[in-house]
Structure 1
Amino acid sequence: MTAVLPIKYDPTSKTISLEESVPLSSTKDFQIEVSQINTLYSDFIKTNSELPPPPTKEAFTQNLSMMVKKMHESAVLLMRQKSFEEAAKKFDIALGLASARSKFESFQATLPELMICLIGRCDAYTNAGFFVEALEDAEVLILLGSTIPDNHLRRGICKLNLGDFVTAKSDFERGLAFNSKHPILLKLYDICKKLIDEENGDV
């Protein structure tokens, strides 16, 4: 017997959704997949072709890249002016623009845009003292570039400022594994060790 998926199609919006009878609490992953299908189909419709274009350099939307670049430059200027909260907002907009690309465009070309905007927003949040928000960005950066020492540095700084000295020390250690002479990692690693010793009454 063939199983029937509990989904329905709306010909007006050209999207699929779960049946109302399906309990949302038990279908979180399925909802994500449905959302992804709708996004892909929406992007496919926008191509106005029988087949989606191949993810080549020629198919990469350069106008969007220019918009991302301008917004990023504006955010960097605000960082130099120490307007960190405003810079975070600009980086957020730039990140939104980079994320708005058609899912059929080259992810290899999209990834650097996403990372540079995410790095900027993470640093802006950190400088503004929004360590929880910065930590979320740092977690994503590590997923995207686990061998980049500065990504571990960013997460470690967040953990350090949130009072989680042990895991901060671990982050600095991971960063040093990829660059054993990184001066900031070395300095913060030593600071973490001292703070942990103080907590344990070893000083």
Structure 2
Amino acid sequence: MALPLAYDSALKKVSLDEDVSLSENKALNLEISQLNTLAKELLNTNSEIPPPPAKEFFTKNLSMMVRKMHESGVNSMRTSKFPEAAKQFTVALGLATARPKFESFQMTIPETLLCIIGRCDANLKNENYMDAYLDAEILATLGPNIPDNHFRKGMALLHLRQLQAAKTSFETALTFGPSNPVILREINKELEHVKHLIAEENGEDDD
């Protein structure tokens, strides 16, 4: 069965036919969007075959821009300019994720995670707990064996009053055995705090 597709040779894009309902073809439209993105980036390589995802083909100039913007965010954090820091980490993240899809994902992911960590911390400091939670969820998914990621998630959930979920995140952080004694102490402190809050909500004596 033929798909209801149209091709614009000038824009070099595929799209759904005009008489097709977007709401009824969301999955197909998403695949078309992804196809157009890959096609555009393939055309931008000016080559029939994109370069292999190797270190020598990694865009170093973009890495430098990411690093400089990340450093600006770190400096803003040091001076307690948390809203500005969050914006700077967001810009750095945008640069890191703007890489051609054919570049090495293995080299892209550390840059991306570093930017998300910075933005998550900035949002926690700025009390933007939902935004912090969304970033922490990504961090905990991509780096599930890193206790700091679960600690960040737990802190965001704690302030969002999702106490049981926060408790689970703190306990998960402990299972990965934090090597940093400061982080370990903070996790234990917040875990006891959230246990106390849960006991209060349940009308229990947590002594």
**Which segment drifts farther, 193-202 or 23-32?**
23-32
Once residues 22 and 186 of structure 2 are traced to their aligned partners in structure 1, the CA distance between those partners, rounded to angstroms, is 46
2:198 matches 1:196: yes
**One-letter amino acid matched to 1:192:** V
Aligned to 1:65: 63
Q: Shift in Å at residue 26 of structure 1?
A: 3.1
Aligned to 1:84: 82
Deviations 1:13-50 (A, max 9, x none): 11111223333223333222211111111111111011
Secondary structure at the residue paired with 1:8?
Answer: strand
Query: Which structure 2 segments of 5+ residues have no match?
Result: none
Q: Shift in Å at residue 143 of structure 1?
A: 1.7
Deviations 1:85-131 (A, max 9, x none): 00000000000000000000000000000000010011111110100
Aligned to 2:38: 40
Q: 1:142 to 1:30 in 2, by over 3 A?
A: farther
Q: Shift in Å at residue 176 of structure 1?
A: 1.0
Once residues 31 and 142 of structure 1 are traced to their aligned partners in structure 2, the CA distance between those partners, rounded to angstroms, is 30
Once residues 127 and 201 of structure 1 are traced to their aligned partners in structure 2, the CA distance between those partners, rounded to angstroms, is 31
Aligned to 1:6: 4
Paired positions, count: 201
Deviations 1:149-202 (A, max 9, x none): 111111111110011111100111111111267222111111110000000010
TM-score (norm 1): 0.95
Once residues 72 and 191 of structure 2 are traced to their aligned partners in structure 1, the CA distance between those partners, rounded to angstroms, is 33
Q: Shift in Å at residue 66 of structure 1?
A: 0.2
**One-letter amino acid matched to 1:194:** H
TM-score (norm 2): 0.93
**One-letter amino acid matched to 1:129:** E
Q: Shift in Å at residue 63 of structure 1?
A: 0.2
Once residues 204 and 59 of structure 2 are traced to their aligned partners in structure 1, the CA distance between those partners, rounded to angstroms, is 58
**Which segment drifts farther, 29-38 or 84-93?**
29-38
Once residues 74 and 25 of structure 1 are traced to their aligned partners in structure 2, the CA distance between those partners, rounded to angstroms, is 42
Match of 2:93 among 92, 95, 120: 95
State the identity %.
Answer: 51
Q: 1:143 to 1:20 in 2, by over 3 A?
A: farther
Query: Which structure 1 segments of 5+ residues have no match?
Result: none
**One-letter amino acid matched to 2:185:** P
RMSD value, Cα: 1.2
